[in-house]
A and B are shown apart, each in its own frame.
Chain A
Amino acid sequence: MMDSQQPNETEGLPPFIKSWRQMYRIVIGTLLVLMALFYVMMKYFE
């Protein structure tokens, strides 16, 4: 899969995020962090 936009296109992104690739990494990273937090919470209160 290729990103069909130009690599330097940053329209729509918050100023502290440099590219869409970085944004997607943040989304996937957040998913992993959430799953880890849920797991820790489950184990802590189990």
Chain B
Amino acid sequence: MSFIDWIVLIGTLSFIIIYGIYRSRGKQNIDDYLIAGQSLPWYHVCFSVMATQASAITFLSAPGQGFADGMRFVQFYFGLPLAMVVLSITFVPIFHRLKVFTAYEFLETRFDGRVRIFTVILFLLSRGLSTGLSIYAPSIILATILGWDLTWTNILMGSLVLIYTVTGGTKAISHTHLQQMIIVTMAMFVAGYMVVHLLPSDIGFVDALKIAGKAGRLNTIDFHFDPNSRYNIWSGLIGGFFLQLSYFGTDQSQVGRYLTGESIGQSRMGLVMNGLLKIPMQFLILLVGVLVFVYYQYNPAPLFFNKVETDKLRNSEYAADYQSLEEKHSLAVSSQRAAVDGLAKALDSKDETSITHWQEALKESDDTQKQLKKDAVSLIKKNNPTADTSDVNYVFLRFVLDRLPIGLIGLLIAVIFSASMGSIAAAYNSLASTTVVDLYKRIYKTDASDNHYLMATRISTIGWGIFCIFVAQYASKLGSMIEAVNILGSLFYGVILGIFLVAFYFKNIGGKATFWGAIVAEIGVVLCWWYDLMAFLWLNVVGCVLVIAFAWVIQKLKPANA
């Protein structure tokens, strides 16, 4: 990065941190610190919810996904607006009226202390570990591609947010979320414009879309029901609905955002606006990736975007094999260029026979390049079994560093940091507030002063920050454990959602039945995973259904005691 890029990066991040501290200055009580005194308007709620969900990986991985796989990932978000409606009708009024700080307080009101503590432990376990990975995932990419030290990148990524999260609490987080979303949105629009600008002069935006469409990259809707296909309209609407309902309704990192609304109406409006804006936003991010794909139809793309791994390969015993793959790749790139030029001319002349011919040629070249990439990945794995071979994460950042002008590179690196800070800040805040409100205050120190709990939450925030950075430092040494931690989330999420759904919709089921139902369901989910009975995403649905079923059966069998 150039000096100017460093200035832009440091300037943008400093602005966010100073702004966060400035907006939350003055004396605070625990209400202000945990839920911003329930004083924020809907647009703060909306952008805070969006910034919490959009991690750095959203802006690194999603364009890469658009590049490699097209637009179909957008379907994953189709269930979100429906979940926002259900949340607004059910969860928001209840949480507001009970004046809770955390979602889990409601469980004690509805059931008993045991259900609350059980759910809190599940949440702290999964959120604490996944936040560590949220720090590690962008850090490893930035460290790899920019040549930074991974340990210091992890520390920087995890500790910058602590500055304003500890001092300003939720108010600082919400105000910085708004700034972060404005910066991120502007930068992505500029990046999209720059990609189109870098295309040959006779290729405009619509021409680029036509080429992307003919190359199968505008595959936004897939009506075929296939349980093995991760992204189609049905998995998006049904699976996505359950996932988003679980995430927004039971994860304190999101509940804590919409509890900041100054009224039920403002919280609701924030959520429904998120339901309106999220899909177009994700569509635009993916579209940037698709435009990058079109750019690389006219310009040679590297065989593999993670340059550090390919450099290692060139200096290894597999150098000759890799060179042979690169030669084949050059030939495929030449035929791709001929195909895309032919296709553009055929589209201009509207010659259908010619369009079909060049479309097939382009597809053939695309398939050849995909196969060559697979062969390169095999070589990289042989050379370095712990190498990061998920090339999609590196596509957009490589494009930014190689092709965008000075200044914009710094801004886009700042965007990655900003996005990361937004989600990490909300996670720290939720972990600390849950620890203090649901464990410390509930079990250990029940009658301390407001200031005492405020200080305890600040200390807890620092403690969780250190824990998450620690997890991030060790994530690289965990190897396949990274996937195990992702599975860990699925092991718990469904059960937590099941407990909340029983609380809301099954008024005749009591605390004891729900507690034992949840324990048995959790064992059931662990057994399903242990015996590898299904893909781990389905564990969310199974956990949820099992809690409801077991709690209902236990209630029926022992109505007096349950």
Interface of A toward B, CB cutoff 8 Å: 1-5, 9-13, 20, 23-24, 26-28, 30-31, 34-35, 38-39, 41-42, 44-46
Q: Contact at A38–B74, with CB atoms within 8 Å? A: yes
Partner of B263, one of A12, A26, A42, A46: A12
When distances are taken between beta carbons in the complex, the residues of chain B under 8 Å from A4 are 89-90, 93-94
Q: Contact at B82–A28, with CB atoms within 8 Å? A: yes
Q: Contact at B213–A45, with CB atoms within 8 Å? A: yes
When distances are taken between beta carbons in the complex, the residues of chain A under 8 Å from B527 are none
Partner of A42, one of B213, B266, B268, B275: B213
Q: Contact at A30–B221, with CB atoms within 8 Å? A: no
Given A20-B88, A24-B85, A31-B78; A13-B269 close (CB under 8 Å) = yes
Complex Cα distance, B84 from A41, in Å, reads 26
Residue on A nearest B41 in the bound complex, by CB:
A12
Q: Contact at B221–A39, with CB atoms within 8 Å? A: yes
When distances are taken between beta carbons in the complex, the residues of chain A under 8 Å from B220 are 38-39, 41-42
Chain B nearest CB from A28 CB (Å) reads: 7
Complex Cα distance, B269 from A39, in Å, reads 28
Q: Contact at A31–B42, with CB atoms within 8 Å? A: no
When distances are taken between beta carbons in the complex, the residues of chain B under 8 Å from A38 are 71, 74, 220-221, 283
Residue on B nearest A3 in the bound complex, by CB:
B89
Chain A nearest CB from B352 CB (Å) reads: 13
**Which residue of A28, A34, A39 has the most chain B CB atoms within 10 A of its CB atom?**
A34
- Looking at chain B's contact residues, the main secondary structure is helix
Q: Is B81 an interface residue (CB 8 A)?
A: yes
- Looking at chain A's contact residues, the main secondary structure is helix
Chain A nearest CB from B266 CB (Å) reads: 5
Partner of B81, one of A13, A20, A28, A42: A28
Given A1-B86, A24-B85; A12-B264 close (CB under 8 Å) = yes
When distances are taken between beta carbons in the complex, the residues of chain B under 8 Å from A28 are 81-82, 85
Size category of the B interface is 35 or more
Residue on A nearest B274 in the bound complex, by CB:
A27
Residues 229-285 (chain B) with a chain A CB within 8 angstroms = 233, 263-269, 272, 275-276, 279-280, 283
Residue on A nearest B233 in the bound complex, by CB:
A35
Q: Which 7 A-B pairs have the closest CB atoms?
A: A12-B265, A45-B213, A11-B265, A38-B220, A12-B269, A4-B93, A39-B221
Q: Contact at B280–A34, with CB atoms within 8 Å? A: yes
Residue on A nearest B212 in the bound complex, by CB:
A45
**Which residue of B86, B264, B266, B505 has the most chain A CB atoms within 10 A of its CB atom?**
B264
Complex Cα distance, B81 from A5, in Å, reads 20
When distances are taken between beta carbons in the complex, the residues of chain A under 8 Å from B268 are 12, 20
Complex Cα distance, B263 from A11, in Å, reads 8
Inter-chain pairs besides A1-B86, A44-B213, 4 sampled, C-beta below 8 Å: A12-B269, A20-B88, A31-B78, A31-B275
When distances are taken between beta carbons in the complex, the residues of chain A under 8 Å from B275 are 27, 31
Q: Contact at B89–A42, with CB atoms within 8 Å? A: no
Chain B nearest CB from A30 CB (Å) reads: 6
Chain B nearest CB from A40 CB (Å) reads: 9
When distances are taken between beta carbons in the complex, the residues of chain B under 8 Å from A13 are 265, 269
A-B contact pairs, 19 of them (CB 8 A): A4-B90, A5-B93, A9-B265, A12-B264, A12-B266, A12-B267, A20-B89, A24-B89, A27-B272, A28-B85, A31-B275, A38-B71, A38-B220, A39-B221, A41-B218, A42-B218, A42-B219, A45-B214, A46-B213
Given A4-B90, A12-B264, A31-B81; A42-B272 close (CB under 8 Å) = no
Q: Contact at B280–A45, with CB atoms within 8 Å? A: no
When distances are taken between beta carbons in the complex, the residues of chain B under 8 Å from A9 are 265
When distances are taken between beta carbons in the complex, the residues of chain A under 8 Å from B441 are none
Complex Cα distance, B356 from A46, in Å, reads 11
When distances are taken between beta carbons in the complex, the residues of chain B under 8 Å from A39 are 220-221
When distances are taken between beta carbons in the complex, the residues of chain A under 8 Å from B93 are 4-5
Given A12-B42, A27-B276, A28-B81; A1-B89 close (CB under 8 Å) = yes
Residue on B nearest A4 in the bound complex, by CB:
B93
Complex Cα distance, B221 from A3, in Å, reads 32
When distances are taken between beta carbons in the complex, the residues of chain A under 8 Å from B263 are 11-12
Complex Cα distance, B386 from A44, in Å, reads 43
Q: Contact at A27–B81, with CB atoms within 8 Å? A: yes
Chain B nearest CB from A33 CB (Å) reads: 11
Residues 64-112 (chain B) with a chain A CB within 8 angstroms = 71, 74, 78, 81-82, 84-86, 88-90, 93-94
**Which residue of B42, B219, B221, B279 has the most chain A CB atoms within 10 A of its CB atom?**
B221
When distances are taken between beta carbons in the complex, the residues of chain A under 8 Å from B272 are 23-24, 27
Residue on B nearest A12 in the bound complex, by CB:
B265
When distances are taken between beta carbons in the complex, the residues of chain A under 8 Å from B212 are 45
Residue on A nearest B262 in the bound complex, by CB:
A12
When distances are taken between beta carbons in the complex, the residues of chain B under 8 Å from A27 are 81, 84-85, 272, 275-276
Q: Is B209 an interface residue (CB 8 A)?
A: yes
Complex Cα distance, B213 from A41, in Å, reads 9
When distances are taken between beta carbons in the complex, the residues of chain A under 8 Å from B82 are 28, 31
Chain B nearest CB from A16 CB (Å) reads: 13
Q: Is B381 an interface residue (CB 8 A)?
A: no
Q: Is B512 an interface residue (CB 8 A)?
A: no
Q: Is B210 an interface residue (CB 8 A)?
A: yes
When distances are taken between beta carbons in the complex, the residues of chain B under 8 Å from A11 are 263-266
When distances are taken between beta carbons in the complex, the residues of chain A under 8 Å from B213 are 42, 44-46
When distances are taken between beta carbons in the complex, the residues of chain B under 8 Å from A5 are 93, 264
Complex Cα distance, B262 from A11, in Å, reads 11
